[in-house]
Every structure is written in structure tokens, then in C-alpha cells.
């Protein structure tokens, strides 16, 4: 394959992406398939950082609505992301891919601490880095962790995997008239409250000029197509510099 368009990408997967048709937890077949897609992205010559959510195991806000202390619930949620990260590390290592899990919370017996310079060194050496435990702080999400880490490691692109191919005017599963947006600006995502990532994550990307591409994880091969520079899903940027976003965003 020719040189990829991007040197370094940060990919965000939700915990739910690992569930498959199960009600919770990790589906072994699904995680293997995802690991294969991510490994293909690495083979295409891209340095890959990965943030995985924990919603397939615990969400702090849900626990709080059941009466649990919110901060405790969020700590549980962050630990859930570590479980997912370890599972993904294992699946990738089975494919021969070198992987390091770096946690924002100290859990030294199971993974490394997140240290930015060390993370960048791992990436430069061709190791995939999974950033676990979100931002390490309650009241945040792994979407925000993904934008934060993308900016910190100087990624050229933040990729958010969803179940549909990009951003639509409404939920395309429920509304057949929903319109697909190939290009958007961060400001439009915020003002129209388009459900893609939480506002904190979008504002981080906007303020630090981190392009975001939203794509369908279930469309096999999309990751490699994106690495080649193909226009898959929806690209969100600050606009004018990217031409089409200025017109449509
Ligand atoms: N979480 C947190 N701080 C962070 C990231 C995550 O407290 O920086 C907690 C929060 O409780 C959240 C849970 O971890 O509900 C799982 O993360 P998230 O909901 O973002 O996972 P996803 O929806 O992507 O699976």
C-alpha cells in the first residue's frame, strides 16, 4: 500500500462496540474482528492510539441514578475501561501486534501509567497504545479522553467509531428521512446538538483544531480506507481551510 495520509491517528471505540448482540460485556468474536481491523490500520503504516469506553460494563451516571455515589460510579466506569483495554490488548497480541496499555489511574500491576512522552515513544516504536481509565477524573467521558489524548500525542486525526456511517440530521435508524452530512464544522455540531460526542470533547477538538472523522465501525475495511485518505463517513473541522466544510457547515 502507498504511504498513508496520516502518520498518527487516535481511534475511539465505545464499550458498546465490544458487546455485539449481547446485553453487556465483551463478545469474543466481535473483539477479534475489531482487533483485526485495527491491526490492518497499523499495517497500513499508521501509528495508532486507542481509547476504549466502558459503557458495556459500567456507566457512572447510570449507577448514580440507581443511588450509588456518582464519583464512585465514575471510578467503576473508569475501571471498566481498563477491563476492555486489557481484552483488546490480548486480542491484538494474538495477531502479533505489540501493544501497551497506559492507564490514567495507577494500576501498576496490570498496566503502565499514562506518561505522555512514554506514550509517544511507544507509538514511534510501532507499538499500539491503548489509553485506559479515561481522563482519570470523574464527571468526564471517554469521548473527552479521546480528544484530550489525540491532542496530547499530536495525532493528525481523531476517529470516532459509531454504528452508522457518520453524522446525520436525526437518528437514521429511526428516521429514514435523516440527512447524511459529509462535512460539518464543530460549531454546527454544537449549535445543532448533533449527537456525536459530548460537548466537552467537541469543544476540545474545536479549540485545538483536531479534525474528527465519524465512521461506521461495522463497515469492514473503512479504517484502512480512511488511512488512504478516502472520504468515509463525516469529517468535522473548523471549516474554511477544508473548503467543503465552509459551504456545508
Ligand atoms: N469515566 C469517567 N471519567 C473519564 C472517562 C470515563 O468517570 O474520564 C467513567 C464514566 O462513569 C463513564 C464510564 O467511565 O460512564 C465509561 O465511559 P464512557 O461512558 O465514556 O464509555 P462509552 O460510552 O464510550 O462506552
Residues 6+ apart with CB under 8 A from 60: 70, 71, 73, 74, 75, 76, 77, 138
Question: How far does the centroid of ligand 1 lie from the alpha carbon of residue 154, in Å?
Answer: 23
pLDDT value of position 195: 84
- DSSP labels for 65-97? HTTS-HHHHHHHHHHHHHHHHHHHHHHHHHTT-
**Taking Cα atoms as reference points, which of 166, 190, 185, 191 lies closest to residue 241?**
185
Distance, first Cα to last Cα, the chain: 33
pLDDT value of position 239: 86
Mutate to test the pocket of ligand 1, among 16, 25, 53, 65 (most ligand atoms within 8 A of CB): 53
- For ligand 1, say whether the CB of 131 is within 6 Å of any of its atoms: no
Question: How far does the centroid of ligand 1 lie from the alpha carbon of residue 168, in Å?
Answer: 24
CA dihedral sign, ordered 153, 227, 200, 245:
positive
pLDDT value of position 163: 86
Question: How far does the centroid of ligand 1 lie from the alpha carbon of residue 138, in Å?
Answer: 8
**Taking Cα atoms as reference points, which of 4, 11, 42 lies closest to residue 158?**
11
Question: How far does the centroid of ligand 1 lie from the alpha carbon of residue 58, in Å?
Answer: 8
Number of H helices, E strands in the chain: 9, 11
Q: Hunting for cell 463478545 — which residue is that?
A: 27
pLDDT value of position 231: 94
Nearest-angstrom CA–CA distance, 224 and 212 = 16
Question: How far does the centroid of ligand 1 lie from the alpha carbon of residue 54, in Å?
Answer: 6
Taking the whole predicted model, whether its pTM rises above 0.85 is answered as yes
- For ligand 1, say whether the CB of 55 is within 6 Å of any of its atoms: yes
pLDDT value of position 240: 66
Element (H, E) at 180: strand 180-181
- For ligand 1, say whether the CB of 15 is within 6 Å of any of its atoms: yes
Averages of pLDDT over each 10 residues, the chain, 249 residues: 88 95 94 97 97 97 95 98 98 98 97 98 98 98 98 98 90 89 96 92 97 93 93 92 42
- For ligand 1, say whether the CB of 14 is within 6 Å of any of its atoms: yes
Amino acid at each position: 500500500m502507498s504511504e498513508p495520509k496520516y502518520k498518527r491517528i487516535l481511534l475511539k471505540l465505545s464499550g458498546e462496540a465490544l458487546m455485539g448482540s449481547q446485553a453487556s460485556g465483551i463478545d469474543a468474536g466481535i473483539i477479534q474482528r475489531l482487533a483485526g481491523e485495527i491491526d490492518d490500520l497499523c499495517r497500513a503504516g499508521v501509528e495508532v492510539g486507542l481509547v476504549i469506553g466502558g459503557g458495556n460494563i459500567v456507566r457512572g451516571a447510570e449507577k448514580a441514578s440507581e443511588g450509588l455515589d456518582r464519583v464512585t460510579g465514575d471510578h467503576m466506569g473508569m475501571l471498566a475501561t481498563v477491563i476492555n483495554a486489557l481484552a483488546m490488548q490480548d486480542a491484538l497480541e494474538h495477531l502479533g501486534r505489540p501493544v501497551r496499555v497506559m492507564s490514567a489511574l495507577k494500576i501498576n500491576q496490570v498496566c503502565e501509567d499514562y506518561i505522555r512522552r512514554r506514550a509517544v515513544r511507544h507509538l514511534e516504536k510501532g507499538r499500539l497504545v491503548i489509553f485506559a481509565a479515561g481522563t482519570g477524573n470523574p464527571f468526564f467521558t471517554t469521548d473527552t479522553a479521546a480528544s484530550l489524548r489525540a491532542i496530547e500525542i499530536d495525532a493528525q486525526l481523531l476517529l470516532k467509531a459509531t454504528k452508522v456511517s457518520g453524522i446525520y440530521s436525526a437518528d437514521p435508524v429511526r428516521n429514514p428521512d435523516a440527512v447524511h452530512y459529509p462535512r460539518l464544522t464543530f460549531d454546527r455540531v454544537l449549535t445543532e446538538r448533533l449527537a456525536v460526542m459530548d460537548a466537552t470533547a467537541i469543544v476540545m477538538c474545536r479549540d485545538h483544531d483536531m479534525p474528527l472523522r465519524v465512521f461506521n465501525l461495522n463497515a469492514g475495511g473503512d479504517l484502512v480506507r480512511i488511512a488512504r485518505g478516502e472520504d468515509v463517513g463525516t469529517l468535522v473541522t473548523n471549516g474554511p481551510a477544508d473548503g467543503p466544510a465552509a459551504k456545508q457547515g
